[in-house]
């Protein structure tokens, strides 16, 4: 019998929809107990159950999970009744979970489970690493706002497949990073790493399923390249009546500076050349603005470091609004160096129609009247 530890941070990801830098410092006065990670956890279990339905390995898997929203209720919501599940008391019934619960859950589960799967973001990844006293392999199922760590699979489906392959003996042990970036630093336009943990993880023997750790590109030449891109964008893509939406990243931040907007590094801003509507927009704000806008809309996205994601990492506040925007209105911008080091661009959104619409070979603005062509792939 293979014992799998399964930990859910139910609050993870809620910050992204509210236009925050993450959920690590989510206000306690907001009585929210469930975020997007809970739904991702349900999808993960359903996917595992579907993948393993016809496998002989079905009888070999047993889950060890915390009580309440951190695991027990996820199995109930997913109707995953075919799994053997042992529940460990970690949090009080009905209570909102905090970082300490995740650390404690990882400590308890690592004593008995062979491998730990968790659903959340970078904060959850570091909490699991901190509590993983037995140094068991760890795999992250993406469900948070900040997901810069290489311990995460590229998407929920690949994480589920990795678990099934582990049961079938088709994985190897690899190294990965759990990286925690300071949210307050992001709000002040700085990318400051607070903690880094080196952990063991699983890797498929057939293909790479993990993302790469985010890398930040700086330097005089890099900054000049971003200035070129910003100047070209303002001269070629905008007029006074265009609604402009700028996604996260330092390249789009340079465009914001040209407009006089003080956009946070990982924030999403929206406005026209004449008026700024929101500087750190929430999902509700963007959806309302876009749904009532009758003129031209331009959305500028930039891949997140070496991860290659243009959507799906820190862009949750934007994704609902994109359903009302034509794919041709989306412009991808990135520096030459980033494009040289990025094999392909990735889209990781739950809306399959949006993912398909954004997939294919796309033109990327890499300088003043300078372009590169990259394949955009839904994951």
Q: What is the pLDDT of residues 306-351, one digit of tens each?
A: 678 899 877 888 988 998 899 899 999 999 888 888 888 999 887 8
Half-sphere exposure of 147 (CA within 13 A, CB side): 34
Strands (DSSP E) along the chain, which ranges? 2-8, 61-66, 84-88, 115-120, 138-142, 171-181, 193-204, 243-246, 269-271, 276-278, 297-301, 309-311, 330-333, 345-347, 360-367, 370-378
CA 17 to each of CA 25, 91, 283: distance values in angstroms, whole numbers, following the listed order: 14, 25, 5
Q: Is 157 left (phi over 0), alpha (psi -120 to 50) or beta?
A: alpha
pTM of this prediction?
Answer: 0.67
pLDDT of residue 366: 92
Q: What is the pLDDT of residues 183-221, one digit of tens each?
A: 665 555 555 677 889 999 999 887 767 766 555 555 667
The long-range contacts involving 167-172, CB below 8 angstroms and separated by at least 24 positions, are 167/2, 167/52, 167/55, 167/57, 167/60, 167/61, 168/55, 168/57, 170/204, 170/205, 170/206, 171/202, 171/203, 171/204, 171/205, 172/202, 172/203, 172/205
* pLDDT surpasses 70 at 104: yes
Tell me the pairing of strands 330-333 and 243-246.
unpaired
> What was the pLDDT predicted at 70?
95
CA-wise closest residue to 139 among 73, 203, 66, 215: 203
Range with the lowest mean pLDDT among 2-6, 253-257, 281-285, 301-305? 301-305
295, 328 contact by CB (below 8 A)? no
pLDDT band at 94 (very low <50, low <70, confident <90, very high): confident
- Candidates 334, 375, 376; CA nearest to 355 is 376
Distance (Å, rounded) from C-alpha 289 to C-alpha 269?
12
How far, in Å, CA of 300 to CA of 307, rounded? 18
What pLDDT score does 20 carry? 55
Q: According to the model, what pLDDT value does residue 297 have?
A: 95
- 378 has a pLDDT exceeding 60: yes
pLDDT band of residue 355 (cuts 50, 70, 90) is confident
Mean pLDDT of the chain: 86
Tell me how far apart the terminal alpha carbons of the chain are, to the nearest angstrom: 31
- pLDDT-wise least confident of 133-147, 217-231, 261-275, 310-324: 217-231
Domain ranges of the chain: 2-204, 220-378
Q: Are residues 377 and 345 in contact, defined by beta-carbon separation less than 8 angstroms?
A: yes
Mean pLDDT across the stretch 265-294?
A: 92
Give pLDDT tens digits for 7-29: 999 988 776 555 554 555 555 54
Pairing of strands 115-120, 84-88: unpaired
CA R_g for the chain: 21
Looking at residue 124, its pLDDT comes to 94
Count of residues in the chain? 379
User: What are the tokens at 221?
Assistant: 């030449």
User: ∠ CA(366), CA(148), CA(65), 5° rounding?
Assistant: 150
| DSSP assignment letter at 285 | H
DSSP tally for the chain: helices H, then strands E:
13, 16
Look up the CATH architecture of domain 2-204: 3-Layer(aba) Sandwich (3.40)
| 65 CB-near residues (< 8 Å, 6+ apart) | 5, 6, 7, 8, 71, 72, 74, 75, 85, 86, 87, 88, 109
């Amino acid at each position: 019998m293979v014992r799998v530890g399964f930990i859910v941070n139910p609050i993870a990801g809620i910050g992204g929809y509210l236009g925050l830098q993450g959920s690590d410092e989510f206000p306690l006065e907001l009585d929210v107990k469930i975020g997007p990670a809970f739904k991702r956890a349900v999808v993960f279990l359903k996917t595992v159950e579907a993948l393993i339905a016809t496998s002989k390995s079905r009888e070999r898997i047993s889950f060890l999970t915390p009580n309440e929203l951190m695991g027990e209720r996820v199995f109930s919501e997913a109707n995953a009744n075919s799994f053997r599940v042992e529940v460990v008391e970690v949090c009080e019934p009905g209570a909102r979970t905090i970082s300490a619960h995740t650390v404690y859950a990882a400590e308890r589960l690592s004593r008995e489970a062979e491998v730990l799967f968790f659903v959340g973001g970078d904060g959850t990844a570091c909490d699991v690493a901190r509590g993983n006293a037995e140094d068991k392999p760890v795999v992250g199922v993406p469900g948070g706002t900040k997901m810069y760590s290489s311990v995460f699979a590229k998407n929920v489906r690949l994480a589920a497949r990795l678990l099934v392959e582990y049961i079938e003996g088709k994985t190897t042990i690899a190294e990965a990073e759990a990286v925690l970036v300071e949210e307050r630093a992001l709000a002040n336009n700085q990318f400051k790493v607070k903690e880094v943990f080196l952990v063991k993880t699983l890797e498929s023997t057939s293909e790479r399923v993990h993302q790469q750790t985010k890398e930040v590109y700086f330097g005089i030449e890099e900054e000049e390249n971003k200035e070129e891109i910003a100047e070209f964008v303002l001269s070629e893509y905008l007029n006074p009546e265009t609604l402009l939406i700028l996604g996260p990243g330092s390249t789009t931040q340079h465009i914001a500076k040209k407009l006089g907007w003080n956009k946070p590094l990982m924030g999403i801003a929206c406005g026209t050349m004449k008026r700024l509507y929101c500087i750190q927009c929430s999902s509700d704000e963007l959806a309302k603005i876009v749904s009532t806008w009758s003129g031209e809309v331009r959305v500028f996205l930039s891949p997140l470091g070496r991860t290659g994601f243009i959507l799906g990492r820190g862009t949750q506040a934007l994704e609902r609004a994109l359903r009302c925007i034509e794919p041709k209105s989306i412009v991808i911008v990135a520096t030459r160096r980033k494009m040289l080091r990025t094999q392909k661009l990735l889209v990781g959104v739950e809306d399959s129609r949006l993912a398909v619409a954004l997939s294919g070979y796309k033109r990327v603005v890499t300088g003043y009247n300078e372009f590169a062509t990259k394949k955009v792939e839904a994951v």
